[in-house]
C-alpha cells in the first residue's frame, strides 16, 4: 500500500521537474514573454536570474533608456539608475542640450559641459555598444560636435535606427569646431536601416553647409543597406551610396535669414536620381516661407506611394501616368496654403491610371474674394474620377471664408466634381470649417450635389455654423434620401 502511494508522488515530482525545466528554456520563455506588456515584464523579471535576462531583452526592445547631462525638467517620473541589465540598452536617447526656454543664457563652461557625452552613458558605452539597436540624439539651443569620438571608436554592429534632431542651434561659437566636424569619421554601419535627420535652420545656411551637410553625408556613406531616410534640411545630400533605399521623406526647411533662397529643383532631381530604381515611397514637403510652384518630374519604375504634402509647391501632375509611375498604387496630395496653384495643376485626366489601393486628398481653402470662381475646383475633383479606389479619403478644410455663400459654393463644387467617381462607394469625404464668419445655408444646388454623391461611403461636415432650423431641415433631407451625411454644428 505504501508503494502505491509513493508512486504518484514520484510521478508528480517528475512533472514538477519537467515543468521547471521548461520554464527555464529561453526558447519557450521567448514565446511567452513576447506577448507580455511592459508592466508584466517588469514583474516577471523578479522571479529569477534566467527570467531577468530573458525579460530584459524584451523590455529593452519595447522600452527606452534616456541619458542626459542635466535632469530633464519635464521627466518628473524618471529616476536615475545606479545599475541595470545591459540587455535593456537597446533603445537609447541622448539629451545633449541645455533647457533654456528661449535664448540660451548658458556660460561658456556650461555649454562645453552640455557638449560632452553624458558621463553615465560614456562609462557604459564599451559594455552596451553592441546591444544598441536604436539611438536618438536630441540637440537644442547649442550644437554639439563632441559625438565624433563615439562614432569613430565603435562599430555598433546591431544598430538599425539613428535619429538626430537639431533645433534652435546657436552658431556663435561654431567656427572653432568646424575642423572637428570635417574630420569626423564613422565606422561602417552595415545594419543601419532607418536614418532620421531633422535640422531646422533658424540661422543662415553657413551652418548647414559647414556642419550639417557633411555630418549627413558621412552617415549616408557608411550605411549601404539603408532602407528609410527621413530628413528635414535646406541642402540635398548625395544618395549614391544608398542603393537599397526604399522610403524617402524630404522636408525642405527654408532658411529664415535667407527668405529669397528657395529649393533648388535641379539639385533635388540629382538627389532623387541616385535612388530612382529602388525607391518605393516618396514624401515631399516644404516648411517655412512661400514659394512659387515648381514643376517636378517623377519617373520611378518602382514607386508605389508618392505623397505630396506641399502640392502648392511641387507640381507633379505630368507624372501621373503609367509611363512615369508604372507601379503606382497609392497617392496622397495635400495643399495647406492657397489652393489656386494646386487647382491649376490637377485638372487633366491621368492617362493609364485606372485604379489605386489608396487615395488621400487634403485641401485647405482660403478665400477672401467674393467673386472667386469655384469651377476649377470642380474640374480638379473631376480629374480623379476615373480611378477605382479601394480606399479614398478626401478632406476639405475651409478657413476664413469671410463672405456669405462662399462655403456653400465650395462644398457644391467639391460634390459636383466627385459626382460619377468610380471609387465613390469606397470614399469618405470630410468638410472641416474653421474661423468661418458666416452661417452655412444649404442651397438647392448643394442638396443636388449630395444626392448625386449618394453612393459615397460617408460625408462628415464638421465645425459648421448653422441655424438650428437649417440643421434640422438638412438632416431630415439626408435621412429621407438615405444619405450617409453627418453634421456637427459649431
Q: Give per-residue pLDDT as tens, 254-304.
A: 755 545 556 778 888 899 999 999 999 999 998 766 666 778 888 999 999
User: Is there a domain that residue 5 lies in?
Assistant: no
Q: Which residues contact 316 (CB under 8 A, 6 or more apart)?
A: 296, 297, 298, 306, 308, 345
Tally of domains in the chain:
3
Q: Does the residue 2 lie in any domain?
A: no
Whether residue 349 lies inside any domain: the answer is yes
409-424 tens-digit pLDDT: 889 999 999 999 999 9
Both 264 and 373 in one domain: the answer is: no
**Distance between start and end Cα atoms, the chain:** 85
Q: Compute the distance between CA of residue 249 and CA of residue 271 in angstroms, rounded to an integer.
A: 12
Report yes or no on 360 lying in a domain. Answer: yes
pLDDT digits (tens, 9 = 90+) for 97-156: 666 666 666 776 766 666 677 778 888 889 889 989 999 988 765 555 567 678 888 889
| Distance (Å, whole) CA 223 – CA 477 | 60
Query: Cα–Cα distance between 133 and 150 in angstroms, integer?
Result: 15
Angle, to 10 degrees, between the axis of helix 468-480 and the axis of helix 444-452?
30
Residues whose CB falls within 8 Å of the CB of residue 478, separated by 6 or more in sequence, listed in order: 450, 485
Domain of residue 416 covers: 293-490
CATH number for the domain spanning 212: value is 3.80.10
Stated pTM of the model: 0.80
* In a shared domain, residues 490 and 354: yes
* 380 and 454 belong to one structural domain: yes
| Together in a domain, 238 and 134 | yes
Is the same domain home to 81 and 47? no
The pLDDT, as a whole number, for residue 114 is 63
Amino acid at each position: 500500500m505504501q508503494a502505491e502511494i509513493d508512486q504518484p508522488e514520484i510521478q508528480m515530482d517528475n512533472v514538477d521537474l519537467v515543468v521547471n525545466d521548461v520554464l527555464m528554456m529561453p526558447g519557450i520563455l521567448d514565446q511567452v514573454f513576447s506577448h507580455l506588456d511592459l508592466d508584466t515584464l517588469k514583474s516577471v523579471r523578479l522571479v529569477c536570474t534566467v527570467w531577468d535576462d530573458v525579460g530584459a531583452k524584451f523590455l529593452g526592445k519595447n522600452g527606452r533608456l534616456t541619458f542626459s547631462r542635466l535632469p530633464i525638467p519635464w521627466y518628473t517620473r524618471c529616476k536615475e539608475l545606479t545599475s541595470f541589465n545591459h540587455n535593456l540598452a537597446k533603445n537609447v536617447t541622448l539629451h545633449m542640450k541645455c533647457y533654456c526656454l528661449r535664448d540660451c543664457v548658458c556660460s561658456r563652461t556650461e555649454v562645453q559641459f552640455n557638449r560632452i557625452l553624458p558621463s553615465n552613458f560614456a562609462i557604459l558605452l564599451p559594455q552596451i555598444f553592441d546591444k544598441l539597436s536604436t539611438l536618438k540624439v536630441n540637440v537644442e539651443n547649442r550644437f554639439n560636435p563632441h559625438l565624433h569620438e563615439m562614432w569613430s571608436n565603435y562599430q555598433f554592429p546591431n544598430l538599425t535606427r539613428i535619429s538626430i534632431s537639431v533645433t534652435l542651434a546657436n552658431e556663435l561659437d561654431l567656427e572653432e569646431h568646424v575642423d572637428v566636424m570635417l574630420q569626423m569619421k564613422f565606422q561602417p554601419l552595415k545594419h543601419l536601416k532607418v536614418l532620421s535627420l531633422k535640422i531646422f535652420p533658424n540661422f543662415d545656411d553657413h551652418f548647414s553647409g559647414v556642419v550639417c551637410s557633411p555630418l549627413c553625408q558621412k552617415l549616408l556613406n557608411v550605411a549601404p543597406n539603408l532602407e528609410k531616410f527621413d530628413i528635414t534640411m535646406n541642402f540635398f545630400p548625395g544618395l549614391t551610396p544608398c542603393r537599397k533605399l526604399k522610403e524617402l521623406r524630404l522636408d525642405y526647411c527654408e532658411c529664415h535669414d535667407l527668405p529669397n533662397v528657395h529649393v533648388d529643383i535641379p539639385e533635388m532631381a540629382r538627389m532623387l536620381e541616385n535612388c530612382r530604381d529602388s525607391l518605393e515611397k516618396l514624401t515631399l514637403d516644404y516648411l517655412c516661407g512661400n514659394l512659387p510652384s515648381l514643376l517636378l518630374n517623377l519617373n520611378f519604375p518602382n514607386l508605389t506611394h508618392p505623397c505630396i504634402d506641399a502640392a502648392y509647391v511641387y507640381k507633379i501632375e505630368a507624372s501621373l501616368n503609367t509611363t512615369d509611375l508604372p507601379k503606382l498604387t497609392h497617392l496622397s496630395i495635400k495643399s495647406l496654403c492657397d489652393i489656386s496653384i494646386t487647382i491649376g495643376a490637377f485638372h487633366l485626366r491621368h492617362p493609364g491610371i485606372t485604379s489605386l489601393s489608396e487615395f488621400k486628398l487634403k485641401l485647405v481653402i482660403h478665400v477672401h474674394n467674393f467673386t472667386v470662381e469655384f469651377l476649377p475646383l470642380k474640374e480638379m475633383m473631376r480629374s480623379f474620377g476615373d480611378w477605382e479606389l479601394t480606399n479614398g479619403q478626401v478632406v476639405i478644410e475651409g478657413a476664413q471664408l469671410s463672405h456669405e455663400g462662399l462655403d456653400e459654393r465650395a462644398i457644391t463644387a467639391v460634390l459636383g466634381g466627385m459626382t460619377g467617381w468610380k471609387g465613390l462607394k469606397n470614399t469618405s469625404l470630410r468638410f472641416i470649417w474653421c474661423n468661418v464668419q458666416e452661417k452655412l445655408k444649404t442651397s438647392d444646388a448643394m442638396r443636388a450635389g449630395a444626392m448625386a454623391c449618394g453612393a459615397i461611403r460617408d460625408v462628415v461636415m464638421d465645425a459648421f455654423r448653422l441655424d438650428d432650423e437649417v440643421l434640422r431641415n438638412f438632416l431630415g433631407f439626408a435621412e429621407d434620401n438615405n444619405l450617409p451625411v453627418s453634421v456637427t454644428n459649431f
